[in-house]
Amino acid sequence: MCAVCKRCHPTSLHEAILERIKEREAEKTVTLYKRSTAEDNITSDKVSEDPKSDIVSNKSDACFIKESILNKFGTKGHNVHLKLATVLEETVERLLVGLTCMRAIKPRELILGKDDEPYARKTLLGWSIIGRVIDKCQDDVTDQALASELMVHKVTINGEKKCGFLSSQTKVKEIINPAQLSKFFELDFNEWKIGDIPCSHQDRIFLRKMKEGIHQQEDGHVCYIPHHGVYHPKKPGKIRVIFDCSATYKNESLNKNLLQGPDLTNNLIGVLCRFRKYYVAVVCDIEAMFHQVKVRPNHRNLLRFLWWNNGDLYSNLMEYRMTVHLFGATSSPSVANFALKATADDYKGPKGSKAATFVTNEFYVDDGLTSVPTVAEAISLIKDSKALCQSGGFKLHKFLSNHKEVLETTNSDERASIKKK
């Protein structure tokens, strides 16, 4: 697409193509006949040269007709030589109707388009389209996209409820108005409630099972998960055990059979921007967040692992089961975030709405960041948040603040250790 004339050619070739068009048009001298004896100084529109089309113009002060049509009408006229400026390098028209025939060009009916769109005009000669028409080469430039439309139909077969899925492709076009655009830019600074998050069909199943609880009979399935330790270079004395839930056996793995669930993690940009809002800053962490959320007993056989006591490979092999959610399981992040937000909803009454808002909106996974106007509010927020999280089985620790008075209200083992360089 040319950036200068918006035609279908590269911008770098604009001058060369423009010269070629002018040369072709200079070779075209068309003889038309002027029916009236009006003055020779006339004006005319740029016309399309389709031999099968006639032109109605409200800017031409005379009517023009080709000699072949004139002979059919059995009338005479004066020869007029016109050099036509064409748009798309086509052939000339048979007839041009101007202002001398007002009855033919007077609008009888109008159909208006939207702003900047062509409109339709009906005259005695029929309908015409007036306005800029998009070139064919611009058809590829579109904001339409292919999407898969998923239709779900529930049926009951022999007393068992089943879902049938049918997927088909369809074209969609996103229409954005100013209100939607303003709301879009606010997403980074406002957190979704669980019920407001757009969810897929599988995510809704996940949330329903989390709310209602899983009531499934023990089917005897057992899964052994390989594991390994990970060390952080800045934490040499601490090891984190990672379970490889994606390890496959007979083309099956635990993660393949888990629902991932919706992304309930707060937006990092919003958390950081709100953290800089007030003068007194508070930072904390949830201790072993995933391991504070228990797994139902009838599912724990899927979390088995093997162990040698004291690392002795010649000793008897031991079997253990994890009772909590694992680092490495697909469902763990969504489950842990759901449990934390549910804790805030369940205990916001007795522990205070400010603490519940802090736990719900100001945590990015297990790291909490917030700011308040005064030291007294920060001390009160830490006290209420600790009590709220403790009620749900979570422990807040590694507190930091830019005010010593705030940190002095916490126990020494609850504060973050700062290494001086």
Interior angle at CA 81, CA 80 and CA 82, nearest 5: 115
pLDDT at residue 266 above 70?
yes
More confident residue, 33 or 356: 356
Highest-pLDDT range among 24-38, 67-81, 95-109, 234-248: 234-248
Give the pLDDT of residue 20.
Answer: 72
Poorest-confidence range of 90-94, 320-324, 351-355?
90-94
Mean pLDDT of 207-213: 66
pLDDT at residue 419 above 80?
no
pLDDT at residue 216 above 50?
no
Residue 370 near residue 275 (C-beta atoms within 8 A) = yes
pLDDT at residue 152 above 80?
no
pLDDT band at 32 (very low <50, low <70, confident <90, very high): very low
| Structural tokens at position 62 | 């005379």
pLDDT at residue 214 above 50?
no
Give the pLDDT of residue 21.
Answer: 74
Contacts of 103 (CB under 8 A, 6+ apart): 124
| Structural tokens at position 371 | 């700011």
Distance CA 66, CA 392 (A): 90
Give the pLDDT of residue 127.
Answer: 79
Give the pLDDT of residue 338.
Answer: 93
Query: Helix axis angle, 375-391 relative to 332-351, nearest 10°?
Result: 120
SS3 at position 389: helix
More confident residue, 276 or 212: 276
Mean pLDDT of 125-152: 59
More confident residue, 374 or 65: 374
pLDDT band at 245 (very low <50, low <70, confident <90, very high): very high
Distance CA 122, CA 126 (A): 5
Query: Helix axis angle, 332-351 relative to 353-361, nearest 10°?
Result: 170
Mean confidence (pLDDT) of the chain: 75
pLDDT at residue 150 above 60?
no
Poorest-confidence range of 4-18, 167-181, 212-226, 350-364?
167-181
More confident residue, 83 or 76: 76
Mean pLDDT of 12-16: 71
What is the pTM assigned to this prediction?
Answer: 0.50
Residue 386 near residue 216 (C-beta atoms within 8 A) = no
Give the pLDDT of residue 332.
Answer: 93
